[in-house]
């Protein structure tokens, strides 16, 4: 099995691309959303402002993690739009932050991330954009968040499509434990997906508010 084949298999099971009804979107028969309980391992990364941010800096806050790269021509803009929406809808909750990790830190330098963040009205105190060593970020994503990520190989890879990665949003509690995973964008392949997606975000917000109590 080639490396790319393995990556595609991992992506299907770990959420690369839109998440369908059977995972993070609405499930009318479910009693509650999954509570993974995964501990986020220590990390040291750099925020778009140039300051160092560690996992310990986020302790005491509830935060929502997302994964993008700025030149992405696929789902990343939709995921970032979702976080923009959540920033507005949770603006009255002072204990929540949003943390976006770039999966392409070689290209996403501080200036690029700052421009990307500014274009989305990201509050610099509440919405962080983190970059650093690519291997470290990918390891964190795979081992702490249990989400797929990897470079695409081959001569046919086009600019803006260099990485396969999860589009899920991860809710992390005050102690750095992952307590929920939710769709980061509607699945346009499914009829009426927007209604399911809105219900998914309502549950995410409910989870955040529960953890803030």
* Residues listed for the chain: 213
CA–CA separation, 110 and 99 (whole Å):
15
Q: Work out the number of other CB atoms within 10 angstroms of the CB of residue 75.
A: 17
Q: Provide the pairing of β-strand 62-68 with 52-54.
A: unpaired
- Where is average pLDDT lowest: 25-29, 83-87, 190-194? 25-29
Residue 22 has pLDDT above 80, yes or no: no
Our separate counts of H helices and E strands in the chain read 5, 10
* Under 8 Å between Cβ of 70 and 108: yes
CA distance 124 to 159: 28
Q: Supply the pLDDT for residue 31.
A: 53
Domain ranges of the chain: 3-19+37-212
3-class state of residue 114 by DSSP: helix
CA dist., res. 172 & res. 63, Å (int): 5
Residue 9 has pLDDT above 60, yes or no: no
CATH architecture of the domain formed by 3-19+37-212? 3-Layer(aba) Sandwich (3.40)
The reported pLDDT for the residue numbered 190 is 82
Closest CA to 148 of 201, 75, 95, 96: 75
pLDDT of residue 27: 40
- Over the stretch 182-201, which tens digit does the pLDDT of each residue have? 999 998 788 778 999 999 99
């Amino acid at each position: 099995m080639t490396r790319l084949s393995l990556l595609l298999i991992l992506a299907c099971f770990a959420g690369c691309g839109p998440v369908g009804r059977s995972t993070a979107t609405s499930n009318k028969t479910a009693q509650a959303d999954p509570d993974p309980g995964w501990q986020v391992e220590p990390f040291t990364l750099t925020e778009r402002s140039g300051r160092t941010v560690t996992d310990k800096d986020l302790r005491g806050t509830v935060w929502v993690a997302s994964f993008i790269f700025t030149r992405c021509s696929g789902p990343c803009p939709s995921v970032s739009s979702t976080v923009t929406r959540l920033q507005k809808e949770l603006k009255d909750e002072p204990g929540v932050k949003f943390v976006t990790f770039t999966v392409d830190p070689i290209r996403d330098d501080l200036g690029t991330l700052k421009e990307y963040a500014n274009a989305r009205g990201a509050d610099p105190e509440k919405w962080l954009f983190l970059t650093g060593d690519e291997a470290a970020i990918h390891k964190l994503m795979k081992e702490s968040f249990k989400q797929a990520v990897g470079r695409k190989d081959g001569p046919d890879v086009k600019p803006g499509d260099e990485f396969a990665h999860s589009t899920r949003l991860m809710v992390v509690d005050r102690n750095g434990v992952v307590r929920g995973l939710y769709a980061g964008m509607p699945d346009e392949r499914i009829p009426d997906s927007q209604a399911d997606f809105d219900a998914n975000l309502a549950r995410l917000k409910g989870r955040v508010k529960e953890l803030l109590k």
